[in-house]
Structure 1
């Protein structure tokens, strides 16, 4: 059923400045394996010339497959699509921006051949990133780890190699708001890592601005932890206890000092704090409810506009040439 040894899944979105260099380096690395491979570029609704460049590459290289989405469905959806359409015994996920060095793939393959079924890339150092990005990423992984009952490796991204049976397990999961690196930990199997230095982006701009980083963080937390809901309950109980203590204290002070019970300023402060706490708890519940709503709609995770390979392009050309000759 699976005719390749390796499948590289490369999600891309507006990467016209880097895609040619990315293809070149991936090709150089995979040629060193002396085994059959395919590189699946998943075009996540790019609006620049990424699609045209990839179609040209497909026409030149039979090892390349291109999946075009009908619109932008997101990084995690693109990874999932590549996994579902892969034909390899080992599937490697890597971004096109070259921040994760393709040369590390060879180390992952060696670990896989040693018997490991998941080999993830662990960032020993992050170059070319701001202090804010490094700090928030480090804080998020630690917070997520403290909230979940499964061990999600810290300082990792989606750059990893997974065995075919791991891939099949992942693609069988139906959830829509996917946090792939967390799902890989959830399914289990024999896992290890290789360390590498994360490089500065080769060209172009990051495709994970703050808004998307927050969305990914929320997907990770809500997918693998109910603790935010529990924390909301604890905060509600704590605020009630604090309010009760303040009320009793103020009543006692009023009797001792013969003054008014609860002045206006204190009342307003307590109300503001309570309303703020209530809205925070409602917001937490809203995040979970929104994801339940997404799942209940049962819409597909992505829609494919076209699948392109050298073979398909060649067949289209032959059909077109045949029609012209008949005319």
Structure 2
């Protein structure tokens, strides 16, 4: 029997028309074993039929709600909104592509129900992802924890059960680089990990390219540590010292050219890193919203509602949206 929890199954999705219906069926079968439960889809600005299918599901199932973004804001924004609008005490984050099997959520829920933790993360056993994703995740987490001193739940995935109130605290943190698993330890939340099975994608195409993985890693590094600056200073000092020693001992023009190339490379790398930190500062001061909701079948806060001004002036919601009523969680 599943643990007795009040729980929201939150499902971020972006262009998942090929698998969203199957995801609903499998998630429903598991999450409705908990008497006090719901399913919340967060459509991250899909351009295919994902939202259309979700609406149809919601019309036939009163325990299904959805939010749809005005554009693609990214996964971090999608689950931030999911945590903000989940109405149950706990929230389990699931994949629309079913790579995190819904049947495994009970392992996380059981550990959460035992008490003592605010978040329980799944560690994927025999991970069914392309080699570059597996290697990229292990590599950037190893650099983050061992080299840069960033505290992370080791090998944690986005498949997790989190106390909803704690997740909201994380989402409300004014960090220049939103990164849930790095922010959670900073507020003092208690967490643990549980090993779970992992599946290949049920349908559709993955959204994580090598470029996105690299950018995600850099966001973590510069967003939560200043050690990269120290490493660059050391590299620059070492390169300069080596260049001076070589030039004093040799007058070879080719050697001089090689040293010049190395020094220029270090200089450009330093400028690139400084630029990344400046971008981090600009992000934090820009004041742009993390997301804007175009449509929903639940009450939406005016600050999150792209069309709030229409609602205020006419007293009527635009198609697919709902006016704010009652007390939001």
Could you say which residue in structure 2 is the equivalent of 1:13?
Answer: 14
Change (3 A) 1:148 1:9: farther
2:204 corresponds to: 204
Q: Cα distance, 1:103 vs. partner? A: 1.3
2:259 aligns to what? Answer: 270
Moved more, 301-310 or 274-283: 301-310
Deviations 1:94-144 (A, max 9, x none): 2211111111211111111110221000112112x2333322222111111
Query: Once superposed, which parts of structure 1, at least 4 consecutive aligned residues long, lie more than 4 Å away?
Result: none
Higher relative contact order (CA 8 A, sep 6+): 1
Q: Which residues in structure 2 correspond to 1:195-274 (within 5 Å)?
A: 195-250=195-250, 262-274=251-263
Q: Note the C-alpha offset of 1:202.
A: 0.5
Deviations 1:42-95 (A, max 9, x none): 100101100100000010111111101000000111010111111110111122
Flag the structure with higher helix content: 1
CA-atom RMSD, angstroms?
Answer: 2.0
Does the residue aligned with 1:11 lie in a helix, a strand or coil? strand
Q: What is the match of residue 156 of structure 1?
A: 156
1:132 and 2:121 matched? no
Counterparts of 1:41 and 1:215 in 2: how far apart (Å)? 26
Aligned counterparts of 2:71 and 2:277: Cα–Cα separation in 1: 26
Aligned to 2:110: 110
Does the CA-based 8 Å contact 1:69-1:305 persist in structure 2? yes
Deviation at 1:147, TM superposition (A): 3.3
Structure 1, residues 297-319: CA drift from partner, whole Å, max 9, x if none?
11111111011259xxxx999xx
d(CA) in 2 for partners of 1:281, 1:10: 39
By percentage of residues, which structure has more strand?
1
8 Å Cα contact 2:144-2:150 kept in structure 1? no
2:153–2:193: 8 Å Cα contact kept in structure 1? no
Structure 1 residue 227, shift from structure 2 partner: 1.2
Deviation of 1:150 (Å): 4.2
CA distance in 1, matches of 2:40, 2:142: 32
- Alpha-carbon distance between aligned partners in 2 of 1:59 and 1:45, rounded to the nearest angstrom: 20
CA contact under 8 A between 1:112 and 1:119: conserved in structure 2? yes
Q: Distance in 2 between matches of 1:47 and 1:133?
A: 25
Residue 270 (structure 1) shift: 1.1
Q: Distance in 2 between matches of 1:175 and 1:132?
A: 28
Q: CA deviation at 1:172?
A: 2.0
Q: Using structure 2 for the length normalisation, give the TM-score.
A: 0.85
Residue number in structure 1 paired with 2:36: 36
Task: Note the residue ranges of structure 1 that are not aligned, 5 or more in a row.
Answer: 251-261, 318-327
Contact 1:58/1:309 (8 A) holds in 2: no
Q: 1:150 to 1:278 in 2, by over 3 A?
A: closer
Moved more, 50-59 or 155-164: 155-164
Partner of 2:326: none
Q: Which residue of 1 aligns with 2:311?
A: none
SS of residue matched to 2:169: helix
Q: Is contact 1:147–1:225 with CA below 8 Å preserved after alignment?
A: no
Distance verdict in 2 for CA 1:177–1:266, change over 3 Å: same
Match of 1:323 in 2: none
Query: Counterpart of 2:282?
Result: 293
Q: Which residue of 2 aligns with 1:308?
A: 297
Shift of 1:5: 1.7
Mapped partners of 1:223, 1:305: distance in 2: 29
Please tell me whether Structure 1 or Structure 2 has the larger radius of gyration of its CA atoms.
Answer: 1
Deviation at 1:164, TM superposition (A): 2.9
Structure-1-length-normalised TM-score: 0.86
**Equivalent residue runs for 1:78-89 within 5 Å:** 78-89=78-89
Unaligned segments of structure 2, at least 5 residues: 300-316, 320-329
Counterpart pick for 2:270 among 269, 272, 281: 281
3-state SS of 2:282 partner: helix
**How far apart, CA to CA, are the structure 2 residues paired with 1:102 and 1:227?**
39
